[in-house]
Amino acid sequence: MNSMTQSTAAVDPDKRTPGRPRSARAEQAIIDAVLDLINENVAIEALSMEAVAAKAGVGKATIYRRWSSKEELIVDAAASLKLPVPDLVGESVRDDLVTLLTSMGPSASAQRREGVFSCLSSQVQRSPELQVWYMKVIEPRRERVREVLRRGVAEGVLRADLDVEVTLTVLSAPMTGRPIGGLQTQIDRVELAERVVDAVLDGARER
């Protein structure tokens, strides 16, 4: 994977590889081609390296020199879209959670991203390696949720015995999972986030 190569290079910064350095233009053209193709091509997975190379005006070898598989390339393309984790006003646990959850999941932002994330999560199952990379993309947002939950506990707003991990999962799964057979098709992201947060905060049991 690309980023690995960069890290490896960074280990010994004096040593410059001989020969012509890799073209940053080609690199960007490839990423753009991936995103464009995903964007046009709502039906994902018909995304072929051949098409990426053609669209980027690049030889296939130039792609494989940087990414050793289609999956890695797509992960990197997704990573390039990584949204800044939203700034939190920090006034209310509930509002912070709604903000964070809204920014999660496939439909989080620009249309272009939708397809990328949807495609990604379907590919990611396959190899543990890809999961690690995918995690790097989504984990920051998950960590912010944990922080908010812990802050809530500390402030006494949330239960002292809160199971933070399970609560995190319960909150995020409805946002990142596929919208099949559920609510997500009918209501918008913000409303979904609000209802999920409220349901999880308040609980179902009568007291």
Site for DNA, rule CB under 7 A: 16-23, 25-27, 29, 46, 48-51, 56-62, 64-65, 68-70
Q: CB 40 → DNA: shortest distance, Å?
A: 13
In whole angstroms, what is the distance from residue 17 CA to residue 4 CA?
Answer: 16
Residue 181, SS3?
coil
Q: CB 200 → DNA: shortest distance, Å?
A: 41
Q: Which residues are near its own copies by CB under 8 A?
A: 43-45, 118, 121-127, 131, 134-135, 138-139, 142, 149, 152, 156-160, 162-163, 165-174, 176-178, 180-184, 195-196, 198-207
Q: What residue 81 binds from DNA, its own copies, none (CB within 5 to 8 A, per partner kind)?
A: none
Residue 161, SS3?
coil
| Paired tokens of 88 | 């939190």
- Match 């940087």 to its residue by tokens: 66
- Segment (H or E) for 81: none
Q: What residue 100 binds from its own copies, DNA, none (CB within 5 to 8 A, per partner kind)?
A: none
In whole angstroms, what is the distance from residue 90 CA to residue 88 CA?
Answer: 5
Dihedral (Cα; 142, 175, 120, 87), 10-degree rounding? -40
**68 vs 92, which CB is nearer to DNA?**
68
